[in-house]
């Protein structure tokens, strides 16, 4: 079992892991969108773009869509994902996920 899989097993029930694995195939197209989105968000951060800029708001909307595709509105799954990320930031970032600074920055984007 890979280290990432071991980490998942610590935070999600076996049923949740099975559900995530079953959705993995259908989610591969969605997951493939994260690297480009993360790169675009990082570029805006590095450029000092204000989080309220329409371009950033569009990125934040896409971020929310991709995140929702992962947890599918399940608040427990979302909470476990957040806990895993919070407790294992280096490992999660090394797997290609956004770092905490990026998550905090995208969280400052005005909604609505």
Neighbours of 12 (CB within 10 A): 19
Compute CA 21 distance to the chain's CA centroid, rounded to the nearest angstrom.
16
24-69 confidence digits (pLDDT tens): 776 777 878 899 999 999 999 999 999 999 999 999 999 999 888 8
Neighbours of 89 (CB within 10 A): 14
Rounded CA separation 95/83 (Å): 16
**Residue 110's closest CA among 54, 42, 29?**
54
* Residue 95 in tokens: 């797997």
- 1 has a pLDDT exceeding 60: no
What pTM was computed for the model? 0.73
**Residue 57's closest CA among 107, 19, 95, 17?**
107
């Amino acid at each position: 079992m890979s280290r990432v899989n071991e980490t998942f097993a610590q935070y999600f029930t076996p049923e949740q892991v099975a559900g995530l694995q079953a959705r993995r195939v259908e989610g591969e197209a969605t997951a493939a969108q994260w690297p480009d989105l993360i790169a675009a968000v990082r570029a805006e951060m590095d450029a000092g773009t204000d989080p309220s800029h329409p371009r950033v708001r569009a990125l934040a909307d896409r971020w929310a869509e991709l995140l929702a595709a992962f947890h599918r509105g399940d608040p427990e799954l979302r909470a476990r994902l957040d806990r895993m990320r919070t407790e294992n930031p280096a490992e999660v970032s090394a797997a290609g996920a956004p770092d905490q600074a990026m998550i905090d920055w995208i969280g400052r984007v005005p909604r609505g």
